[in-house]
Structure 1
Amino acid sequence: MKINEIIRKKRKALSLTQEQIAEYLGVSTPAVNKWEKGSTYPDITLLPALARLLKTDLNTLMSFQDDLSDVEIVNFVNEVDKMVREKDYDTAFKMGIDKIHEYPTCEGLTYSVIMYLNGALFLYGVAEPERYEETFIEFYERLSTSENIEIKETVISMLISYNRKIKNYSKAEELINTYPSASVDKEEQLAILYTEQDKFLDALKIWEHRVLNSVTEIQTALMNMLEIAVKENRMQDATFYTEIYEQVSKLCYVPPYIPYIAKLQLSVIEQDKMKCLTALKSMLPAMQEEWKPQDCPLYRHLCGSETNIFSERLFDMMKNEMESGNEFSFLSNNPEYQQILEELKGRG
Structure 2
Amino acid sequence: MKINQIIRQRRRDLSLTQEQVAAYLGVSTPAVNKWEKGSTYPDITLLPALARLLRTDLNTLLSFQEDLSDVEIETFVDHLDQMVQEQGYQAAFQAAWGKVQEYPTCEALLYSAALYLEGALSLYPVQQPEEYQTTLETWYQRLARSDTQEIRDTAVGMLISYARNRGEFSKAEELIQTLPDSPIDKEEQLAILYQRQGKYEQAQGIWEHRILHGVTEIQTALMNKLEWALLRKRPQEAEALADLYETVTSLFCFPGWMRYNARLQIALDAQDGDACFAILSQMLPAMKEIWDPQAHPLYASADDAGGSTFLSSRLADTFCFELSTHEEYAFLRDRADFNALMETLGHRS
Calculate the TM-score normalised by the size of structure 1. 0.46
Q: Which has the bigger relative contact order, CA under 8 A and spacing at least 6?
A: 2
Higher alpha-carbon Rg: 1
Calculate the TM-score normalised by the size of structure 2. 0.46
